Structure 1
Amino acid sequence: MRADVAFVNGAIWTGDPGRPWARSLCVTYGRVAALDDDRECAAAHETVDLGGRTVVPGFNDAHHHLALRGRRLATLDVGHAAAPTRDRLLGLVAHKARELAPDEWVRGGGFDQNRIGGFPTREELDAAGGGRPVLLSHVSEHIAVASTAALRAAGIADLRRPPDIPGGRIVLGADGAATGLLLENAKKWFDATLKPHRIDELVGFLDTASRTALAEGITSITDPGVGGLDGIGMGRADLHGYLTARERGSLGVRVTAMPYITTTHALAGLEPGVDGWGLDLGLRTGFGDEFLRLGAVKVLSDGSLIGRTSALHEPYCAHAPGEEPGRGMLAFDPERLAETLGLLHRSGWQLAVHAIGDRAVDLAVGHVEEAQRRHPRHDARHRIEHCGIASPEAVQRIARAGIVPVPQGRFLWELGDGFLDALGEQRSRSVYRMKSFLDAGVVLPGSSDTPVVDAHPMKGIHAMVNRRTAQGRLIGPQERLTVEQAVRAYTHGSAYAAGEEGIKGRIVPGLLADLAVLDADPFAVDPRDLADIAVVATVVGGRVVHGADALA
């Protein structure tokens, strides 16, 4: 059988330790059929000349909020690049407000209070928005600030008596009135008043985000938290939106979708005499195909490190003398969460627990250990999303339990100065460990948590290798990776985290022909220049879906 397409004249890093490099590859039915087979390449129906460029397996972002990224791209950008000061942020809000009707919402996101001198206040948003409802999401997506009109639209009639929200807080000021600052579950509660999104709107978000990801060489993502009004999804029909996007040709990347924990419920009669927990019809992790499938159940157990809401054993560093800095917060009662996670584990689900603070990480590891002790499962491959602060003991427990930690390298560059300020230099040595996990025998994935930070994998790889902040400060230098370790994390490691290492993550015969074509060799450039490497073209299933003109 003739190959469908041959990619020739390349420097192809396969990710296979037994055969790390190739010059050409042939693709049949969307999969790699052969490497360096000149006869088969010559007979292929189509030939693509790589022009000597470096090719790696398509990047796989193990923690990428696809729909949320699309929504962020469609709303007002108040991130540091667009709004480096508080005055600039408020100016952008005012400019956007002037384009809107008096009752229309100003929605935006991406600000970091650590970089603009504090959180914007309700009164500042009232003035900038001209009395309109204004809602700005923090870069972490765990916090938001709202104007008076926005708070009233959410049903808060008395600003001095806002609702009490477990696992979150509507912050009150010295005058006893709401400041507009919404923490953790209070932010999610507020978001729910603006959901669900229309399906056409959701499809638009997915289309925009998919095209952006493909331009970055990303061919697969895991979307961590879909299907909830009270979580981080777009609405209860999120999968309908994903399917619709796929049918319309608007879903360009392969997706593993994690349902949020609040979408699951008790299932009576999972089998005779056994009740389960999950989704109707017994759907669970693994259902779907190579383009869209169900992944782990996602749960947020704590908050954000730069927002100082992640749960710590010891208090955060004080912002100012005399401040009571606190230890963060847990989103769920630990006993209740342990019970639900145990039921999901017994019902065959992979678990994905968001845990950033060391207290939350220790609790998450304990929950997984207890679930496995009660109901042993082979290679359950549960995950801890972020795994932000892990003690040496936690690293070893994670390795023994077969847990996959999912850290974000790019956090170190974009948010690392905030980590150092929140924790101090000594504790920051334990932040977003990477090499320690590899040394313990853990398979490490690569991820971004976009739209929290830039999703470009080469920027993530740059941070994993260099471990410097935007201000040039080193953060946990003993956790640096080699370039090969970092690229392997963003390819094979992320496939492993999703249980898909048998179909993707390397360029070997039989696996999906997903490729990223680069304009420089990451294994040869100065490591300080890794973030400058551009993606020339992206291939999904043997088809050039981005940058076809560059390969013509």
Structure 2
Amino acid sequence: MGTSPSAPDRILVNGHILCVDPQFQVVEAVAIRGDRILATGPSSEIRALAGPDTTIEDLGGAGVLPGLIDAHNHLLSTGQVLQQVTLYDCRSIPEILDRVADRARTIRPGTWIIGRGWDESLLAEGRHPTRWELDRAAPDHPVVLHRVWNKLVANSAALAAAGITRETPDPPSDQRYSGSFERDPSTGEPTGLFRDRAKDLILNAIPAPTADELVAAVAAACRAYNAVGLVGVAEPGLDDDGIAAFRTLREQGELTVRTLMLLGAWGYVPAEREADLKSWIADVRSRPDEADDLLRIDGVKFMLDGGIGDRTARMDVPYMDEPDNVGQWVVDPEEYPHLVRWVHDLGYSIDTHTCGIAAQDLAVRAYSSALEAAPNERIHHRVHHAYFPSADAIALMARHRIPALVSNPFLVHLGESFVASVGSDRAARAMPMASYLRAGVPLAGTSDSPIADFNPFVGMYAAVARRTVVGRDLAPAERISRADALRSYTIWAAAATSDAATRGSIEPGKLADLIVVDRDPLTVSDEELRDTQVLRTMVGGRWVWERTG
């Protein structure tokens, strides 16, 4: 038992507390002083530490876990999406249109309707909705509906607001990842579908959110995240306005999710911003920052390639039925290693989006070269998505302790689109978590929300079940254990960002971040694991969320 000479402020007793420490202990009680854990152990021994002002809370046998961490999660964007039309569970175009029409009835004509989450591979029609279908649902509103990833559809009012007609030229083909918009082959009229960076033609017409709206989005996401047990994220891809929103909420005392902010950089930001990125990143680096356990600037986000479902991830072989398509580079593959070294030498960690095998190989080689040339124990470069590693990539990741930030819920929600793009055999091998662990590659669970469900218990379910939303099993041999799934959202997630000394487990001296849950995630069925309910969430020794009713 760990102890302190000072009496605790709070003691929790009579619980089933999974510490997720090196011994994977289960204890009954925990003592807390300030924002730190003082001691863990049997209820009788921890009670004995109480002073006259100590609050003692009886958990009644409830389960307790370390607060959960998502190592790649767009919290700000998710907060915005929470206010929009959500389409993730839609399985037909009429369902999508009904939700758009419902929103249109509640807001003034002319107000933009934004939504997200459709996936043509899960729609009965097997296609995207068109501008004309959206026109019928909301004739008096501009409408923009994002796919789960990398495409959007817009109605005629949105096209008009953006000045898009059939005379609008296609995006320049010589610009990397410039994208395209679909035209009706008989008339040349845009159908409303926009891909890749061509989406900006529409997005630039949407009024920018105000500073207050950004702060409100962060606050909304914090509440939603605390409700599912999240107490920490790495937020990849912020600009100055996003950073300011987090800082404002922190100053107001309402930031209840520990946030590591990554600067949006090459591939992730609009192409016209890339020329100024070096001066911006260097300037941000020189500014004073909070740099504490609640909020800090942690690194830089690259987006090296596209995605599997939309067939833009950079692969080694062509996509199904597209013999000339092996995906795209979003960042120049010749320039990328030099950019990595430049950021590395600034002392920043890097999170690179890599979906295709060629992209992951390039990122891992660039990281390895930088780490070998200029070792720095404070830097933790990582690869996100990490779908299809080569044997060489796995070996280098193990040697240099480069974490694979796997986007677990994608297996459930996007798995069918993977099958449509690369075939069932290869899709089944996406995110080979068991193989990573056997090879000694660090692993962390992520959602990449708002692309997929931010609920970590859905992510844990995905890791142990590897089953798509329609019931297809994906490489059962790559399933991982319940304990490892829990580690991937706690201590391993903390380790991926160099924070394992202070977070990720319930141990004396660490931050008092924990959650109370209604079941034991190690013993319930897969489906019950997915449906775990959080009863209370504590951040830094303070209860920040409690289920009511």
TM-score in same-fold range (> 0.5): yes
In structure 1, what is the equivalent of residue 259 of structure 2?
255
In structure 1, what is the equivalent of residue 180 of structure 2?
170
In structure 2, what is the equivalent of residue 403 of structure 1?
402
Opposite residue 183 of structure 1, the aligned amino acid is R
Distance in 1 between the 2:520 and 2:355 partners? 33
Give the CA deviation at 1:10: 0.7
| Residue 220 of structure 1, aligned match among 200, 222, 232 | 232
Distance in 2 between the 1:342 and 1:220 partners? 28
Distance in 2 between the 1:72 and 1:215 partners? 17
What is the DSSP-based 3-state SS (H/G/I as helix, E as strand, rest coil) of the residue aligned with 2:376?
A: coil
Deviations 1:282-328 (A, max 9, x none): 3499962111111220111112222222221212223xxxx668322
In structure 1, what is the equivalent of residue 192 of structure 2?
180
Give the CA deviation at 1:406: 0.4
Identity %: 33
Distance in 2 between the 1:155 and 1:409 partners? 39
1:239 aligns with 2:243: yes
Alignment check: 8 A CA contact 1:169 1:185 kept? yes
1:305 aligns with 2:308: yes
Give the CA deviation at 1:415: 1.5
Deviations 1:494-528 (A, max 9, x none): 11111111110011010001001111111122334
The 1:267–1:207 alpha-carbon spacing in structure 2 relative to 1, beyond 3 Å, is closer
Alignment check: 8 A CA contact 1:277 1:347 kept? no
Distance in 1 between the 2:275 and 2:311 partners? 34
What is the DSSP-based 3-state SS (H/G/I as helix, E as strand, rest coil) of the residue aligned with 2:407?
A: coil
Opposite residue 298 of structure 2, the aligned amino acid is G
Distance in 2 between the 1:254 and 1:169 partners? 35
- Which shifted more, 541-550 or 287-296? 541-550
Distance in 2 between the 1:435 and 1:70 partners? 32
In structure 2, what is the equivalent of residue 156 of structure 1?
164
- Which shifted more, 503-512 or 362-371? 362-371
Deviations 1:406-426 (A, max 9, x none): 002111112212222222222
Structure 2: gaps of 5 or more residues: 1-5
Give the CA deviation at 1:458: 1.4
Distance in 1 between the 2:406 and 2:536 partners? 26
Distance in 1 between the 2:479 and 2:338 partners? 37
Give the CA deviation at 1:442: 2.1
Alignment check: 8 A CA contact 1:416 1:469 kept? yes
In structure 2, what is the equivalent of residue 272 of structure 1?
none
Following superposition of structure 1 onto structure 2, how do residues 394-433 of structure 1 map, counting pairs within 5 Å?
A: 394-433=393-432
The 1:188–1:495 alpha-carbon spacing in structure 2 relative to 1, beyond 3 Å, is farther
Opposite residue 127 of structure 1, the aligned amino acid is R
Alignment check: 8 A CA contact 1:407 1:446 kept? yes
1:97 aligns with 2:104: yes
Alignment check: 8 A CA contact 1:419 1:428 kept? yes
In structure 1, what is the equivalent of residue 135 of structure 2?
126
In structure 2, what is the equivalent of residue 146 of structure 1?
154
Opposite residue 167 of structure 1, the aligned amino acid is Y
- Which shifted more, 153-162 or 421-430? 153-162
Distance in 2 between the 1:194 and 1:284 partners? 31
Distance in 1 between the 2:367 and 2:314 partners? 18
Give the CA deviation at 1:354: 0.4
What is the DSSP-based 3-state SS (H/G/I as helix, E as strand, rest coil) of the residue aligned with 2:335?
A: helix
Opposite residue 169 of structure 1, the aligned amino acid is G
In structure 2, what is the equivalent of residue 474 of structure 1?
473
Distance in 2 between the 1:447 and 1:9 partners? 31
In structure 2, what is the equivalent of residue 84 of structure 1?
91
In structure 1, what is the equivalent of residue 62 of structure 2?
53
Deviations 1:324-357 (A, max 9, x none): 6832222121122222222111111101100111
The 1:159–1:492 alpha-carbon spacing in structure 2 relative to 1, beyond 3 Å, is farther
In structure 2, what is the equivalent of residue 529 of structure 1?
528
What is the DSSP-based 3-state SS (H/G/I as helix, E as strand, rest coil) of the residue aligned with 1:35?
A: strand
Opposite residue 40 of structure 2, the aligned amino acid is L
In structure 2, what is the equivalent of residue 27 of structure 1?
32
In structure 2, what is the equivalent of residue 316 of structure 1?
319
The 1:7–1:488 alpha-carbon spacing in structure 2 relative to 1, beyond 3 Å, is same
Distance in 1 between the 2:14 and 2:300 partners? 43
In structure 2, what is the equivalent of residue 13 of structure 1?
18
Give the CA deviation at 1:9: 0.7
Alignment check: 8 A CA contact 1:518 1:534 kept? yes
The 1:410–1:325 alpha-carbon spacing in structure 2 relative to 1, beyond 3 Å, is farther
- Which shifted more, 453-462 or 144-153? 144-153
What is the DSSP-based 3-state SS (H/G/I as helix, E as strand, rest coil) of the residue aligned with 1:119?
A: coil
In structure 1, what is the equivalent of residue 83 of structure 2?
74
Alignment check: 8 A CA contact 2:165 2:190 kept? no
The 1:237–1:478 alpha-carbon spacing in structure 2 relative to 1, beyond 3 Å, is same
What is the DSSP-based 3-state SS (H/G/I as helix, E as strand, rest coil) of the residue aligned with 2:488?
A: helix
Alignment check: 8 A CA contact 1:313 1:327 kept? yes
Give the CA deviation at 1:168: 3.0
The 1:104–1:13 alpha-carbon spacing in structure 2 relative to 1, beyond 3 Å, is same
Distance in 1 between the 2:274 and 2:306 partners? 24
Opposite residue 122 of structure 1, the aligned amino acid is R
The 1:454–1:368 alpha-carbon spacing in structure 2 relative to 1, beyond 3 Å, is same
- Which shifted more, 375-384 or 356-365? 375-384
In structure 2, what is the equivalent of residue 348 of structure 1?
347
- Which shifted more, 499-508 or 122-131? 122-131
What is the DSSP-based 3-state SS (H/G/I as helix, E as strand, rest coil) of the residue aligned with 2:511?
A: coil
Opposite residue 529 of structure 2, the aligned amino acid is L
Give the CA deviation at 1:88: 1.7
- Which shifted more, 188-197 or 28-37? 188-197
Distance in 2 between the 1:101 and 1:124 partners? 20
Opposite residue 129 of structure 1, the aligned amino acid is A
Alignment check: 8 A CA contact 2:7 2:51 kept? no
Distance in 1 between the 2:299 and 2:71 partners? 12
The 1:458–1:400 alpha-carbon spacing in structure 2 relative to 1, beyond 3 Å, is same
